[in-house]
Amino acid sequence: MCRSAVYPGTFDPVTYGHIDLIKRAKVLFPDLRVVVAKSILKRPLFSLLERMKMLRKATEDIEDLIIESFDGLIVDYCHRNKIRIIIRGLRMLSDFEYEFQMALTNRKLLGDIETLFLMPQETYAYLSSNLLKEIASLGGDLSAFVPPFVEKALKDKLKNK
């Protein structure tokens, strides 16, 4: 049984859906690494350091969780760290085509990589960071979607934009 896996993402910002997947993956993989993508192409609202800080605070109750950042291809990160399993979340059917394409591409780039898809609790199945940014920009209540400190950071960031 493989003990190590990586859960990559931009986490811009971290949501309860992300936290749910991290907890589910940690049960399956004791040596779970959550890696935050620098991801300039996605134009994140929060800096890499801000995203990592929020993620660390949101997961501080999860023992032995490794949180790191990476820049470049996730398969290169996996190769360097001898990790063969990539965790990805599937919220809705609309995620499947993109995630499937990415999983096959990653396997083509590094043949011994497997992608494991996890579904969040139904409560979080529709959450996306982009949707939350829109709600926050319009002054909506995010308490059901993100921890309070993330809601504050999101609203403060959008207020200053």
Enumerate residues 6+ apart whose C-beta is below 8 A from 38.
48, 69, 70, 71
Residues designated as active site: 18, 42, 91, 129
CA distance 51 to 129: 12
Q: For residue 78, which of 103, 96, 99, 48 has the smallest C-alpha distance?
A: 103
Cis peptide before 44 (omega within 30 of 0): no
